[in-house]
Each structure stands twice: as structure tokens, then as C-alpha cells.
Amino acid sequence: MEVKRVIIVGSSSGMGRELARIYARNGARVAVTGRRTELLKELEQEFPGQVMQESFDVMQMKNIDHLQKLVDQLGGMDLFVVSAGIGTVSKDLDWEIDKKTIDTNVNAFIQMVNWAFNFFVKQGYGQIANISSIASLRGNSWAPAYSASKAFQSVYFEGLYMKAKKMKTRIQITDIVPGFVHTKMSQGNKRFWVATVEKAGKQIYEGIESKKFRVYVTKRWRLVAWMMKWAPGFLYHPVG
């Protein structure tokens, strides 16, 4: 059995880091990226010979050079995962927050995913997974740009899923939609069904390996997603 070659963008902490650990434990060769070099090196030391790291900030938009370097080091790529993203509360609609959110969650995201899709088209097979959010389903007054950026990601992935099928390629597209997970990025007081990073990571891994198009994490968030999607405006929108 061939060793799976995995690149996970955004592995310094949270779900991306846990996912990298799971793949390494299961025998894959994993390339991890992030801004905090020391945290990436910890993963390298935890799994010597299996994990390699490349530290860079996706907002600098030099992502393809870094990713190609990792592909060369891995000797190819079978799975590409985007876990990089920011979600900061913007109560007063701060432009700097909105700009950073779009630069990361839209501009850098589409640059990397576009590259990965075309890489797999040339290769003839592969899988792309993205960790989106339940926030992608509706607008959010506390973080409008975040919800909009995650909606962009999910809709883009649906388009890629359809394109891969239309082209009759062996490219799998997986949209991961987490609810609340206990990470540094998860903010706010009105949280429920908060999953541990370990539980979320396990379900994300299982979802990717099942090659399903859309996976809710944890699984019961599928019900919340259905209610959010179909709730009429007079129920979803606050009064006053």
C-alpha cells in the first residue's frame, strides 16, 4: 500500500494541527504549514521522518511557491487540506478586520485551491478538503465578513465538485462544515454543542477518508444547518 502524501495548510493549532497528527499516526507523510514556526517544528519532532514543515503567511500571496516546494519534498501530493482561516468578531464593522478576513479566507484560499485543483487535473487524481464553518449558511451581524467568506468557500467547493464530475476526473472534493469547536478562534458566549479538538479532528478525518462531498462536524450539526438554511427571515433576523 502506497503512503498517502498530505499537505495541510494551517497546522499551527486547532483542527489543522489535530488532523496532521491523525494522518501521521495513520502512516501518512504530512507537510504542515502556518505562521508560527516553533509550533510546526514541534510536530516535526513529534513525528520524525513523517512530518515536514514550511512556515509562511498565506496573506503574503506567495503560497504557490511554498506549496510547490512541499510537493517536491513529499514526492507528490494525494490530499490537499485548507485549514487556514481567521474569524474575528467585528462588532463595529472594523475595516481592518474585514480586510484581513477576506485576504485570508477568500483571496489566499482561492489561490491555493485553484492551484491544487489544476495540479490534480494534470495528475489524474487527488482530493481537496476545506474546513469551512456552519457560519457559511447565513449572515452574522457579529462577523459579517467571516460568514460571507465561509459562504464563498462552500459555494466555490460546490462548483469544483460539479466541475470534477463534469470533467469525469478522479478528483474528490470535500467540504467540512464544523459547528462550535473548542479552539482559540471560536469566540462568543452563546455557544452550544462545543466539540473538543480531538473529537472534531477524528470526525474530519473520517469525513475526508469517506470521500463525501459535505461533512458536518459534529454530526448533529446537520440538523442545525437544515434549520438555519430554511428559517424564514422573520425568525432568523433579530427584531429592533
Instruction: Say which residue, 223 or 31, is predicted with more confidence.
Output: 31
Q: For 161-214, how does the pLDDT look when each residue is reduced to its tens digit (9 = 90+)?
A: 999 999 999 999 999 998 765 555 454 445 555 678 898 889 999 999 999 999
pLDDT at 1 over 90: no
pLDDT at 210: 95
User: Please, which pLDDT band fits residue 13 given cuts at 50, 70 and 90?
Assistant: confident
Domains defined for the chain, CATH in brackets:
5-236 (3.40.50.720)
| pLDDT score of 219 | 73
Determine the pLDDT at residue 195: 74
Write the pLDDT tens digit of every residue in 43-54: 999 999 999 999
Task: Output the 3-class SS for the chain.
Answer: CCCCEEEEECCCCHHHHHHHHHHHHCCCEEEEEECCHHHHHHHHHHCCCCEEEEECCHHHCCHHHHHHHHHHHHCCCCEEEECCCCCCCCCCCCHHHHHHHHHHHHHHHHHHHHHHHHHHHHHCEEEEEEECCHHHHCCCCCCHHHHHHHHHHHHHHHHHHHHHHHCCCEEEEEEEEECCECCCCCCCCCCCCCECHHHHHHHHHHHHHHCCCEEEECCCHHHHHHHHHHCCHHHHCCCC
- Does the structure show a pLDDT above 80 at 233? no
How confident is the model at residue 236, as a pLDDT?
60
- Please report the pLDDT score of residue 190 as a whole number: 56
The reported pTM is 0.89
Please give the pLDDT value at position 187.
47
Average pLDDT over the chain, rounded to whole?
Answer: 88
Residues 68-78, mean pLDDT to the nearest whole number: 96
